[in-house]
Structures are given as structure tokens and as C-alpha cells.
Amino acid sequence: MNTEHVPLLAIDGPSGSGKGTVSQIIARRLGWHYLDSGALYRVLALAAENHTLALDDAESLETLAEHLDVEFALGKDGQTVILLEGEPVTEQIRSEIVGNAASIVAALPGVRAALLARQRAFREMPGLVADGRDMGSTVFPDAPLKIFLTASAEARAERRYKQLKEKGMSVNLAPLLEDIERRDLRDSQRGASPMIAAEDAILLDTTELDIEAVVAKILELCQQRFDYEETPLSQDL
């Protein structure tokens, strides 16, 4: 099916750039669908662990990716619930361990190819906000608007530190920073579809910006690029 006419906003960037939060708010404001491509790699990593597959077993991981039984469902509270083989894994896939494993399996070209069609299937009317590392460069190269969010590694580590503290976890900043730097390196240096700003992407450095400022800036760009009607703000935004 040809979906090139479906409006698409690609938001790429490293972990902690705020792209997940920003993308979800924008999808709600525009009333568009939302693709969390990182969640797909995270679910795959968790499935690999459940099936006791080694993270360097490329062939088995590719087969697993082809047949991955994952569903993004709408929960009672309006939040997305992610199901792996029918079981909710929304929280579980957010751990640092799963995030690191996701970054390892995501480096396998066969795995990326196997997940391509699944990601493209999210492109439906009235529009899609696609969040990831290679949305603008590889998955949706024809996206009319591509944003690449960046922030210093220190700022991103601090954001993660605050998030974990708020969840009542005891954490240290230094290992979080190391982890972010290690993951950035792996995600940007892999041969297959590395994290890279598409040539026609607009770079937005969020180091000094809060979420509202980033959302406002991107919405302004959307208004210039797309003809859309804004959905009224709900309380929780």
C-alpha cells in the first residue's frame, strides 16, 4: 500500500535527548499515531532473554525479529501497553539491562531489516510521529519533516539520574554517564543504519531547553510544514 501521502514527522536522537517524551506529547497534540521504534528493539531483546538466545546469535535473533509477537495496545488510562506474546512488558523493557541488550541486537543488519516493514506499517492517517535513531535516515527517508534532537551526554545523564531518583531508585551519576556514552558510541558507529542525522534533518540541541520549549519549537515547525488541526490540550499534557 502506498502511504507516502500520510503526514510524517520523524524525530531521531540519542537516549535522554527527550525525544520519547516530546514525540508522545506532539503525537497527542496533533492527534497522530506514535511509533516508539526503540520499544521494538527493547521487546526483541527481552524476547531473546526469555528464549535464552545469545545476543550475538545473529541468525536466531533475525528469525525471532521476523516472528516477534508484539502488540502496542491502548490501556484503560489511555496509556500504551506493550505486550510480548500476550504478556504486558511496558515497565520491564525500560530497565538499563534491556536498554543495553536492545542496543546490541539493534546493531545486527538482519534484525533491522526484519523490523523495517513492521515500523512502516505504523504510517496511517491522519499522520505519524516516528521516534528513534534512523527514522529520517532509513525507515522513512521521505518524511516531510525530520528533527534530530541532541543534548550533551552530561545533560542526558542528569535527566536519567533525576528520573530514576524520582522512581525511588538509588543511583549514581557516573555509571549512568558512562553507560550513555557507551551506548551512543555503539548506536552511532554500527555499520547497519547507524544513528545519524538525515541530511535534511533540523538539528535541535535541547541541553538548555525544557520539554515545553522543545515541544513548542517542533509544533511551530509542524505548523509550517503540515496542514493540521490541533487537538485541544488535555489536563495531563
Please tell me whether residue 183 binds ligand DC under the rule CB under 6 A.
yes
From 76-84, 101-109, 170-178, 197-205, give the range in contact with ligand DC by CB under 6 A. 101-109
Please tell me whether residue 102 binds ligand DC under the rule CB under 6 A.
yes
Task: Find, among 96, 107, 92, the residue nearest to 41 by Cα.
Answer: 107
CB of 223 to ligand DC, least distance (A): 26
- Of residues 114-143, those binding ligand DC (CB under 6 A): 132-134
Please tell me whether residue 144 binds ligand DC under the rule CB under 6 A.
no
- 26 contacts: CB under 8 Å, gap ≥ 6: 9, 11, 32, 129, 215, 218, 219, 222
CB of 206 to ligand DC, least distance (A): 15
Cell 538548555 belongs to 208
CB of 130 to ligand DC, least distance (A): 8
CB of 50 to ligand DC, least distance (A): 17
CB of 213 to ligand DC, least distance (A): 21
Nearer to ligand DC, 39 or 222 (CB): 39
User: What is the phi/psi pair of residue 171, to 5°?
Assistant: -135, 160
Compute the distance between CA of residue 146 and CA of residue 10 in angstroms, rounded to an integer: 5
Nearer to ligand DC, 10 or 30 (CB): 10
Q: Identify the residue among 42, 123, 146, 159 touching ligand DC (CB under 6 A).
A: 42
From 54-62, 83-91, 99-107, 141-149, give the range in contact with ligand DC by CB under 6 A. 99-107
Compute the distance between CA of residue 35 and CA of residue 32 in angstroms, rounded to an integer: 10
Which residue is closest to ligand DC by CB?
38
From 61-69, 98-106, 146-154, 200-208, give the range in contact with ligand DC by CB under 6 A. 98-106
Nearer to ligand DC, 29 or 193 (CB): 193
- Of residues 18-37, those binding ligand DC (CB under 6 A): 37
Q: Identify the residue among 9, 11, 15, 47 touching ligand DC (CB under 6 A).
A: 15
**Residues at the site binding ligand DC, with contacts judged by CB under 6 A:** 15, 37-38, 41-42, 99, 102-103, 106, 132-134, 183, 187
